[in-house]
A and B are shown apart, each in its own frame.
Chain A
């Protein structure tokens, strides 16, 4: 008997939850005032709900189908898994997206799919959904399509006309890992897809000779995801891969997804609690690389086994092993060095730089800016404050370490 829409929604959203991204930001600003249609995007994304896993729910994140001819060990939908299978029709996905959108549950659609029949067949169906939404229903909300590996360039090109973002998952940090766990996926094929997409985005961004206008093509760029903790790659390797992906393909984001146990799991995989803290530290390091001027090498060099410190955030860990760079005078230091002070974010640094043009800053000023003195005071000099020999104290690290906790048994 055919499963009801609700039953299939349950299966196909359950199958989609291992994709971390739910972003709806960074695309062009547009709305329906002129078209009289439905939907808008206004730059920053909106999280319409949060699940108890702390993740934002911004998009209707579903699979078109969870039938799949690939057998990737880490994936709940691999062909050898006994998970319940289901499939949506093109019309059903379009209907769900629009009805959810009208009730203001979501910002748009994040559509992915298991691979059925062939890559091109699957991609064609996904493109049809995006086209229906945009053309037939005049939908201006956000659309993220997961490109299917090895799909033809013509389909990807059409997908980019309708979608805000396209992504393809790198899945694992090393080629060896991917070959081992996802025998049908080709790491070079994935890189090639990303490279093609970057070239296409750049080509479309250039104004045409005739109309002198740029064309809309995946305005929110491309992103990818890496599973953390399924294979043996250490954080240094993972971050190195991210840096390469950012540099090579202009990715907007690399998502890290702590490997989470799946039902009916392959015997090749660790059945442990997902390393959530490790995932968090990787995101912090990724931020340091992209917004704080840190090199990957700087972040991981002093860490044993190339693994980030789980007890301390990577900036603090870096500062503790580079004490000679501190204390930093908040009334004199340049932006680059202020960004390296543990406890200062980009906003605080901007505030300090603006405020110090008009007055000399004291610790009290930082308190009013909601900076944690406990964290920064050892690393800074302010009017009326020098950390004396705080920075040289051998027990400085223990001042920041989390209090010991009784271990909870799983």
Chain B
């Protein structure tokens, strides 16, 4: 007598995508130690199969003790692969299950021949499921034939009743739809849930040669019985075909790309597919006609529209006389090329008679989006420390030496870039205007860029830091670091020191401004 593992066994399964029947059989075989090569897996055809072995016996209690463990990933894979229509899937899955007992990492070895085949099958089932979600086409059927509780196959006899189709028409109660689809694999049960989640407020039936599904608002009924195509029509298909042929651009013919995603095997159940040969054949002619059609005179309303759009007044090129006018003019500033890359000009902000003016470097990411100076992380740092020394930012005028954000894109972020001398010079025009219009007594330069702009000359920050300097025009200049510098110090100890120094600077500024 041969050892139990070598004894040939025939297992006959229904094979319509039911994972449970394979799992039970496979578990029993594995517990019995049956070699993969000794199992002959068969699919039941029709209701009687002369060669079928008796239905496998129930699990014995002692077998249940010896439960088998498999990686979770295998179960997920197997549940999908079992829906494949390839008769070899049962054997392949069993062999993989067998191998997994010794090679726990087998599924990770994606170049293993069995794993490659399993993955290909899984992909094919997933693709088929996806295409079913995409290519099922519902046809509306009359509302007078009850479907509630009726098995899907009975509805084959339903004759489509014309449904009034126009905007504003009302249907009382639930509307009913029918779809015929031909999948490659046994996927109806898997995909039915998708349709239930999506088409909740209507009754529908999807019939296929590999089973059907029906939904009536409370129950989803799924059978694996094959159905026939009742060949229904729906008036809305005409509108859909109108859309399909007009959304197509004949100047970009790419037939292969279309067919790889919408293979011909699906065409017979797609109402729009009958248009495809005609659209392809006529494409070139359409493009040629378009090229020949010379530009004609514009339609009558064009002139009226033009006239209405003409600018009412002449553009004002003079130097603006008020802060508001300056701000408005700065919106369109093209004095340096930075405007092309930034979102907007970020002009200064504060009372137009402020005694103190803070000058920073340039707007950052947040300032660029918000259109306001010092609202990002550096601005928050400034506000916090200013608050600690009772310096009220609202009474001061806050602006930047350069008014457009200069940066370098890096993936999903923007990396700040220092403005160059040309950009500082170009933008100094605006800073000078702000100084002239506001006439602050004290100007605070924060960072080297601000200092350079105020002095109109490249200066070293170290030479001016924490010093009071009298400017020619009777103003006082005080220089400190830019608050963003504080954010960039990696060493925590040094960072604290520098923040303390900055706080001292702000304290001095507070004292100076109180005396003004």
Contacts and interface: CB of A to CB of B under 8 A. Distances in A.
Contact of B298 (A40, A81, A191): A81
A247 B196 contact: no
A332 interface: no
Contacts of A151: none
Contact of B201 (A37, A188, A274): A37
B239 A46 contact: no
B111 A369 contact: yes
A9 B369 contact: no
Contacts of A188: 331-332, 339, 343-344
A28 interface: no
Interface in A282-304: 290, 296
Contacts of B32: none
A48 B138 CA distance: 12
B108 to A, nearest CB: 5
B488 interface: no
B108 A9 contact: no
Interface residues of B, number: 97
A274 B251 contact: yes
Given A38-B200, A174-B340, A79 B239 contact: no
Given A61-B247, A69-B309, A274-B251, A40 B197 contact: yes
Contact of B251 (A62, A71, A266, A273): A273
B343 A195 contact: yes
Given A102-B138, A174-B340, A361-B111, A262 B290 contact: yes
B110 interface: yes
A17 interface: yes
A285 to B, nearest CB: 14
Kindly name the residue among A53, A198, A263, A296 whose own CB sees the greatest number of chain B CB atoms within 10 A.
A53
Contact of A17 (B194, B249, B293, B369): B249
A355 interface: yes
Interface string A10-27: 110110111000000000
A194 interface: yes
Interface string A325-368: 00000000000000000000000000100110111010011101
Kindly name the residue among A6, A102, A366 whose own CB sees the greatest number of chain B CB atoms within 10 A.
A102
Contacts of A36: 200-201, 217
Interface stretch (B19-27, B147-155, B317-325, B406-414): B406-414
B283 A192 contact: no
Interface string A265-285: 111000101101000000000
A260 B368 contact: no
Interface string A59-80: 0111000000101000000011
Contact of A92 (B167, B179, B295): B167
A390 interface: no
B234 interface: yes
A311 interface: no
Contacts of A5: 166-167, 239
B460 interface: no
A244 interface: yes
B305 A351 contact: no
A38 B293 CA distance: 44
B302 A71 contact: yes
A56 B139 CA distance: 22
A261 B291 contact: yes
A31 interface: yes
B252 A260 contact: yes
Contact of A191 (B237, B255, B257, B344): B344
A49 B262 contact: yes
Given A32-B198, A40-B197, A263-B290, A351 B110 contact: yes
A99 interface: yes
B279 interface: yes
A81 B276 CA distance: 29
A238 to B, nearest CB: 13
A220 interface: no
A279 B314 CA distance: 41
A61 B248 CA distance: 11
A358 B108 contact: yes
A125 interface: no
Contacts of B239: 5-6, 9, 96, 99-100
A129 interface: no
A100 B139 CA distance: 11
B66 interface: no
B410 A247 contact: yes
A335 B212 CA distance: 46
B284 to A, nearest CB: 9
Contacts of B368: 195, 248
Contacts of A69: 305, 308-309
Contact of B258 (A18, A54, A102, A274): A54
A47 B134 contact: yes
A265 to B, nearest CB: 6
B291 A247 contact: no
Contacts of A138: 201
Kindly name the residue among B242, B246, B258, B410 whose own CB sees the greatest number of chain A CB atoms within 10 A.
B246
B369 A195 contact: yes
Contacts of B339: 175, 188
A264 B290 CA distance: 7
B310 to A, nearest CB: 11
B248 A53 contact: yes
Nearest to B414: A247
A82 B298 contact: yes
A39 interface: yes
A355 B258 contact: no
B270 to A, nearest CB: 7
A22 to B, nearest CB: 9
A54 B110 contact: no
Nearest to B289: A263
B236 interface: yes
A247 B412 contact: yes
A42 B283 CA distance: 35
Given A175-B340, A199-B369, A244-B409, A10 B246 contact: yes
A53 B254 contact: yes
B60 interface: no
Given A33-B200, A261-B291, A262-B290, A52 B299 contact: no
A42 B194 contact: yes
Contacts of B237: 103
Nearest to A362: B111
B175 interface: yes
Contact of B344 (A103, A192, A264, A358): A192
Contact of A80 (B168, B217, B238, B302): B302
Contacts of A61: 247
Contact of B299 (A80, A246, A296, A358): A80
B51 interface: no
27 contacts: A5-B167, A6-B238, A10-B242, A32-B201, A36-B200, A38-B202, A50-B258, A50-B261, A51-B247, A52-B280, A54-B261, A55-B249, A91-B167, A99-B239, A100-B240, A100-B243, A103-B177, A195-B344, A244-B341, A244-B409, A248-B365, A248-B414, A258-B252, A263-B290, A273-B287, A276-B252, A369-B110
Question: Which 4 A-B residue pairings sit nearest by Cβ, starting from the closest?
Answer: A54-B257, A54-B254, A247-B409, A365-B111
Given A246-B412, A276-B254, A368-B116, 10 more contacts: A10-B242, A69-B305, A95-B168, A195-B344, A199-B369, A248-B343, A355-B109, A357-B105, A358-B109, A369-B110
Interface of A: 5-6, 9-11, 13-14, 16-18, 31-33, 35-40, 42, 46-57, 60-62, 69, 71, 79-82, 91-92, 95-96, 99-100, 102-105, 138, 174-175, 184, 187-188, 191-192, 194-196, 198-199, 243-244, 246-248, 250, 258, 260-267, 271, 273-274, 276, 290, 296, 351, 354-355, 357-359, 361, 364-366, 368-369
